[in-house]
Amino acid sequence: MAPPTAPAPSGPRNGRRAGRILRRVLLFLVAAACLAALALAARTARTDRDWAEEVSRQPTARTMVDGTVALNDVREWDYDENGPIQRIWRNRTYDPRQLTALWFNLDPFPAWDGVAHTFLTFEFGPDAPQRYLGVSVEARKQRGQAYSGLKGLFRQYELLHVWASESDLVKRRGLYLGESVYQYRLDLTDAQIQAVFRAFVEQTQDLSRQPRFYNTLLGNCTSELARTIRRTGGEIPWHFSYYLTGYADRYLHRLGYIAPAAADFTEIRQEARMNSRILAHAATSGDVFSDAIRRLR
């Protein structure tokens, strides 16, 4: 009877073999990561992709000799619960000297309200062609493309300033998409409001000439708003709400931009929720809608 075979030694030779395999796997992963980084770096922002209809137009802005601002492709869509019922784009001229108020709008994501979309409403005096004009900093999606915060880190969306009637932006999110919308009047001087408006006009001009990418962390809706206000002399230090954007309204209240600063923010937020007002005036649009939802405050 043959003696039993001794097990193969598991000494230095097998250890060296395992080490070589591990090094090869690591080298492969590093090489793949480098190739992916190079591919992303080589991707350039463009304006001529097959865009989703709601972001299909690139707004342009021009400051005239008399100080007024000409905005082209202002979106003035109307919606019901099932989607757009009217699709209109207009060219309009605004006088920043007629600005009377600036409103901050916050739309928490349904899955988790720690993340939200934010946008601004500029309110003009009664002689303006459109009293309530919104600007929304957005990820410009292509036709059939869904938004993903993860993809937004990797140059998958261009950055777009959507200029639109307030009723377009508010009804789109609060009525058609069925999301919550909160609105706060910002405590700013007329000069500060004009500076913010002109800063967004200038950035819109820049984007129409030189497109750039949206970034979930570094170039999202809220961080772009904060960066613009800082450029005009506003005090908005860095805060985690640049990334967890659903907390931006709380932070603005703490800084004193949402009055009254001494009040309980929970009560202020309850008053700021717009959805019952949106539903009550869903049959209206444009300035009629915006006036109506403010009368219910």
10-residue mean pLDDT profile of the chain (297 residues): values are 54 63 52 41 78 96 96 98 97 96 95 92 92 95 91 91 98 97 95 93 93 85 79 79 90 91 89 96 96 83
Residue 39 pLDDT: 42
Residue 162 pLDDT: 97
Residue 44 pLDDT: 86
Residue 231 pLDDT: 76
Residue 127 pLDDT: 87
Per-residue pLDDT tens for 80-111?
999 999 999 999 999 999 999 999 999 999 98
Residue 158 pLDDT: 94
Over the range 245-269, which residues count as b (16 or more CB within 10 Å of their CB) and which as e?
bbbbbbbbbeeebbeeeeeeeeebb
Q: Report d(CA 70, CA 280) in Å as an integer.
A: 33
Question: Amino acid identity of 13?
Answer: R
Per-residue pLDDT tens for 36-79?
444 444 468 888 999 999 999 999 999 999 999 999 999 999 99
Q: For residue 200, how many other CB atoms are within 10 A of its CB?
A: 22
Residue 238 pLDDT: 81
Are the C-beta atoms of residues 149 and 278 closer than 8 Å to each other? no
Q: Report d(CA 244, CA 268) in Å as an integer.
A: 20
Nearest to 181 by CA among 273, 101, 81: 273
Does residue 6 sit in helix, strand or coil? Answer: coil
Q: Report d(CA 201, CA 224) in Å as an integer.
A: 13
For the record, the structure tokens of 39 come out as: 């591919």
- Residue for token pair 């097990």: 7
